[in-house]
Structure formats: C-alpha cells, structure tokens
Amino acid sequence: MYSDKVMDHFTNPRNVGEIENPDGVGEVGNPRCGDIMKVYIKVEDEIIVDVKFKTFGCGAAIATSSISTELIKGKTVDEALEVTNKSVAEALGGLPPVKMHCSVLAEDAIKNAIKDYRAKNPAKSSI
Amino acid sequence: MEQRIYLDHAATTYTKPEVLEEMLPYFTEMYGNPSSVHSFGRETRKALDLARDRVARAINADSNDIYFTGSGTESDNWAIKGVALANREKGNHIITSSIEHHAVMHTCGKLEREGFAVTYLPVDKYGLVDPELVREAITDKTILISIMTANNEIGTIQPIKEIGIIAQGRNIIFHTDAVQAIGSIPVDVNEMNVDLLSISAHKFYGPKGVGALYMRKGVKAQQMIHGGAQEKNRRAGTENLPAIVGLGKAIELAVTDMPARNTRIQSLRDRLIEGIMSNVDNTLLNGHPTRRLPGNVNFSFEFIEGESLLLSLDIKGIAGSSGSACTSGSLDPSHVLLAIGLPHETAHGSLRLTLGDQNTEEEVDYVLEVLPQVVQRLREMSPLFNQQEGGKTYV
C-alpha cells in the first residue's frame, strides 16, 4: 500500500533526533490519535541550516516527517513556508488516501516550528 | 529477507493439504447439486451429510442442528438478527460484551437503530466477563445473550458454561461466537449450555468463505437469506460444497489433533511471552495470563505505534497484526484494548502475534532477537520516549 519512496523514508528516515537550543520547535498531533510529530529547526540568516524530527506514529507519519525535513533543509524560512501537504505527499510518490492526514501533520509541524522561530525573533520577520 | 514467519493465525490459517485433497474432487468430478434427485446430486448430498456429521461430532451437537453459512460473520448475523427479529414480541433487550468481534458488535448496533436495546457488558482488565454482571443485566425484556467463547485480539477465554447456566435458568437464548475457539479449546454445546454457536473454517486450517451455525432444536430464529429450500429451508442458496467438505474435514482434524498440537503451540507462546516481557521494558501483556488461547500473544509497547511496528517486523519477515487505529481503518484504536482499560496511546502500540501448527522454536527465537531491536529503534524516533528518564515516563 505504500510507495517505495515511503518505505525508503520509513526504513531509513533522514534527520531523526533533536537539536539542542533550537531556534524553533513545532509539535503537532496527540498520542490519543496515534500521531505526534516534533520538528526542531536551526536558523542562520533566515536559512534553515539544520532540522531534526521525532515522530510517534504510523509508517506514513514517519516517512512524511523524514521527507519534509529534506524539503526544508538549506531553504530560506520563506521557502520552507511554501511546503504544503500536497508537496510532501508528491515528494513521497503519493500516499494512500487514508494517510493524507499524515502529510497535513508534516506541513503543520514545519509551519509551527517556523511560527515559533518568528515569535522568538520578531525583528527578523519578513512576513 | 530470507525467511518469512507467519504469526497471524488468528487472522487466517493455511488450508491443510489433507483438507484440500478432500475438497478437490467436488470441483471437477462430483459437481452435482445436492438438491438434485439424480445420482450426481445424491453423491454430493452424501458429502454434505458427512460434513454436517463431522461438525456435529466436533462440538457434541445433533447433526440436525448444524447449518452451513458463508462465513463466521454470516453465522453471527444470523444468530443475532434472526433470534432478535423472531422473538420481538417477547422483548427487545439483548446482552453482549464490550469486546465482541465486529460481526457481533455491528450487528447489535444495527438492531439498536431498529429499536432494540443492547447492554454491552464491561470486562475486567484481563478481558473477562463477570457472569454475575450478566445475571444483573437480565430484565424481563431480555431475549438474547451473546458472549464470545474466546477473544480474537487478546485471547481471553470467557466463562461460557457459567453464563450458559444463567441464561438457561432464565430461559433466555444464548449465542456464542466460537470462531477463535474451535480447535484451540474443547467446545461442547451441551457442556457450555449454548443454544447457538458460530464457526468459521479458515481459522482452523480449513478454506475461507465457509462457516457454520449451530442452532439448537426449538430455537426461534428468522431466516436471513431467502430462496431455495437448502439447509432445511432456513438458509437458501446452493451449497458451497467443496468448501463445506473442507470445513468438515478441517474440524475433524482440528479436534482430533488438539491436545498434542496445543501443548506444543502453548509452549511456544509462553516462550515468546517470557522472552519479550523479560527483555523489553515498558511492555504490557494484554489479556489473561492463563485463561488465554494457546496460540495468542498480545503486547502493548509504550511510546510507539502499532502500524510502524508491523511494517518494521514485515521488513524482517515477521507477520503479525495490531489494534492501532492505523490498522483498523478508523481513528480509534481497537475497542477491545480500550475496554480492558488501556489508554489510547498504549492501545495504539499493540502487537498481536498468533501462533499456529507450523511455527517452530527457531522462529520464536528469531522473533525474540528481532522484536526488541525493532521496538528500540522506533522508540528512539518517538518524542514520547524520554531516554534521559530511562524511558520510564512520558515527556
């Protein structure tokens, strides 16, 4: 039911872990629903220089977390804000319909991490 | 992936070669309709009768009280809807448990929407129904009690005999879903005091798509499938003869081989439980420690989710199942795990491994080697797992 790309990211997830003293943290989901994603970002001159994640969830939740870290690493904060659940799913070669909510979680986790960064660094805000 | 290890026998089993062998002639050589008068029909009628006798013998019933169906689910539907609709003038109350299979749960739900009242009895932390609660739930409107013999997820074996005595004393029809029990524990409709009992062939090394319903003589139940006069005018449709022959052979084998097979399977089960419980922290064994099916193992691993666990095990060649929401097709984890009191997050991290007659000690040892590694890997990815605290608490 999962694409090879999903299985690749599930089996070898990229950027797993935490960042000490991150510039932004985004957490979405809750354990009741069986999905929690936590994304940590390190930002230098508006560029996301490092990103890590920890996820409690199904195969799709882990794969969407992993690919979304790849999609935003090295990008500017504004570019990262353009990542949508659709682009996450497309980057994975598609997701089964019942798993599309995992890509929504991934988008929300990134957005929340950036929101957290913006809140801590209001002067740098460009939006 | 070199080896594949099948530990999902509660989902379905392979069909035994000797069962298949008995079935095969009924596809190509003996294909007559058992309702036909000619010799082609007579020879398949004989096979139908033999299969019915074999089922009856396996559960100590009268052959006249055995009806073939298309599945365990159909048997449950027929038993519950059939009895409810036929006894409506006597009352509209049904008693069942909160851990029944969906075939019973959703059938009761349908009846509720049609004006019946259903009591879903709670279970204790092991999944046991207290017979006293059954007694207390009975009203003068109660027409049916339906409690499963053994649970498909956690393997808990219910006190059916005691519940049967209570039902009998109050003259209430008693149905039990014995789909997981046949071939795993002794089933005797008289000993258990049951009036209706559901059977499914593919759970005991028979073919899929065939079941049976035991319905004691005198039980009033409406017909569900109308048409021809098959099954004594109570379940229409030309008999699925090859499958029915397979069911008959399979149930005979399942019951004859039971003691030896189950001693072996149970020792593998206990090796698996013992090995995991002593090696993986923050793990719960779901179900009863001793009153459980010989092949059933059900763990909850804290801090991780079941589907990612199943995928990880599948990559290593191990096939199991889980009660997590992601595997159930709904947002909630298994109703059984919630009913025994697990919090949602713990229910999401469940793993069911069900052993069968071909599993070996080597396979169990391989699982004991792989499973702790897989759990550890997923925990290291989980934001709920706090390594600094030794994994003892949620962060």
**Chain segment B79-122, per-residue pLDDT in tens:** 999 999 999 999 999 999 999 999 999 999 999 999 999 999 99
pLDDT tens for each residue of B283-312 = 999 999 999 999 999 999 999 999 999 999
- Burial status of residue A75 (CB atoms within 10 A of its CB: 0-12, 13-18, 19 or more): middle
Minimal CA separation from B101 to chain A, in Å: 22
Pairing of strands B283-285, B93-97: unpaired
Dist. CA A63–CA A10, nearest whole Å: 5
Q: What is the CATH number of the domain that holds B380?
A: 3.90.1150.10
Say whether residue B379 is in contact with chain A using an 8 A CB cutoff.
Answer: no
pLDDT at B151 over 60: yes
Say whether residue B348 is in contact with chain A using an 8 A CB cutoff.
Answer: yes
Note the pLDDT of residue B388. 47
pLDDT at B1 over 60: no
pLDDT above 90 covers what percent of chain B?
94
Q: Are residues B154 and B268 in the same domain?
A: no
Of A34, A54, A98, the CB nearest to B381: A54
Provide the chain B residues 259-318 that lie in CB contact (below 8 A) with chain A: 303-308, 311, 315
Q: Are residues B83 and B185 in the same domain?
A: yes
C-beta separation of B22 from B245 below 8 A: yes
pLDDT above 70 covers what percent of chain B?
96
User: Is A34–B326 a contact, with Cβ atoms under 8 angstroms apart?
Assistant: yes
Q: Are residues B162 and B232 in the same domain?
A: yes
Catalytically annotated residue among A7, A33, A49, A119: A33
Q: Are residues B270 and B241 in the same domain?
A: no
Q: Are residues B303 and B235 in the same domain?
A: no
Residues 6 or more apart from B266 whose CB is under 8 A from it?
Answer: B294, B295
pLDDT at B394 over 60: no
Minimal CA separation from A109 to chain B, in Å: 13
Number of domains chain B is built from: 2
User: Which of chain A's residues have a Cβ under 8 Å away from the Cβ of B345?
Assistant: 31-32, 34, 56
CA distances in angstroms from A18 to A13, A55, A90, B172, B225, listed in the order given: 14, 11, 26, 60, 60
pLDDT at A124 over 90: no
Choose the final residue of a domain: B256, B278, B311: B256
* Domain range enclosing B390: 5-13+258-394
The H or E element spanning position B133 is helix B131-137
Choose the final residue of a domain: B256, B288, B306: B256
Q: Are residues B252 and B273 in the same domain?
A: no
φ/ψ bin of B308: left (φ > 0), alpha (ψ from -120 to 50), beta (otherwise): alpha
Q: Are residues B199 and B249 in the same domain?
A: yes
Choose the final residue of a domain: B208, B239, B256: B256
Q: What is the DSSP string of B27-81?
A: HHT----TT-SSHHHHHHHHHHHHHHHHHHHHTT--GGGEEEES-HHHHHHHHHH
Note the pLDDT of residue B389. 53
Note the pLDDT of residue B242. 98
Q: Evaluate the CA torsion angle B321, B324, B328, B333 in order and state its sign.
A: positive
Angle between helices A4-11 and A59-72 (to 10 degrees): 90
Q: Are residues B201 and B315 in the same domain?
A: no
User: ipTM of this predicted complex?
Assistant: 0.93
Q: Are residues B230 and B117 in the same domain?
A: yes
Say whether residue B350 is in contact with chain A using an 8 A CB cutoff.
Answer: no
Q: Which residue numbers of B are catalytic?
A: 326
C-beta separation of B324 from B348 below 8 A: yes
Average model confidence (pLDDT) across chain A? 94
Note the pLDDT of residue B92. 98
User: Which of chain A's residues have a Cβ under 8 Å away from the Cβ of B333?
Assistant: 34
Residues 6 or more apart from B376 whose CB is under 8 A from it?
Answer: none
Q: Are residues B213 and B306 in the same domain?
A: no
Confidence of residue B233 (pLDDT cuts 50, 70, 90): very high
pLDDT at B240 over 60: yes
Structure tokens at B124: 């204790």
Contacts from B225-229 at CB under 8 Å and sequence distance 24+? B228/B35, B229/B35
Q: Are residues B238 and B307 in the same domain?
A: no
pLDDT mean over B10-38: 98
Dist. CA B374–CA B322, nearest whole Å: 15
Say whether residue A85 is in contact with chain B using an 8 A CB cutoff.
Answer: no
Residue of B nearest to A58 (CA): B308
The H or E element spanning position B161 is helix B160-169
pTM to 2 decimal places: 0.94
Amino acid identity of residue B319, one-letter, is A
User: Is B331–A33 a contact, with Cβ atoms under 8 angstroms apart?
Assistant: yes
Q: What is the CATH number of the domain that holds B179?
A: 3.40.640.10
Q: Are residues B311 and B389 in the same domain?
A: yes
Minimal CA separation from A26 to chain B, in Å: 12
pLDDT tens for each residue of A71-108 = 999 999 999 999 999 999 999 999 999 899 999 999 99
pLDDT at B142 over 70: yes
Note the pLDDT of residue B334. 93
Q: What are phi and psi of B274, to 5 degrees?
A: -60, -45
B389, HSE (Cβ side, Cα atoms, 13 Å): 10
Dist. CA A53–CA A113, nearest whole Å: 11
pLDDT tens for each residue of B309-357 = 999 999 999 999 998 877 666 668 999 999 999 999 999 999 999 999 9
pLDDT at B359 over 70: yes
Say whether residue A22 is in contact with chain B using an 8 A CB cutoff.
Answer: no
Of B307, B380, B383, the CB nearest to A58: B307
Say whether residue B389 is in contact with chain A using an 8 A CB cutoff.
Answer: no
Average model confidence (pLDDT) across chain B? 95
pLDDT tens for each residue of B39-94 = 999 999 999 999 999 999 999 999 999 999 999 999 999 999 999 999 999 999 99
Structure tokens at B323: 């009660």
Of B308, B329, B333, the CB nearest to A98: B329
User: Which of chain A's residues have a Cβ under 8 Å away from the Cβ of B383?
Assistant: 27, 36-38, 54-56
User: Which of chain A's residues have a Cβ under 8 Å away from the Cβ of B380?
Assistant: 16
Confidence of residue A31 (pLDDT cuts 50, 70, 90): confident
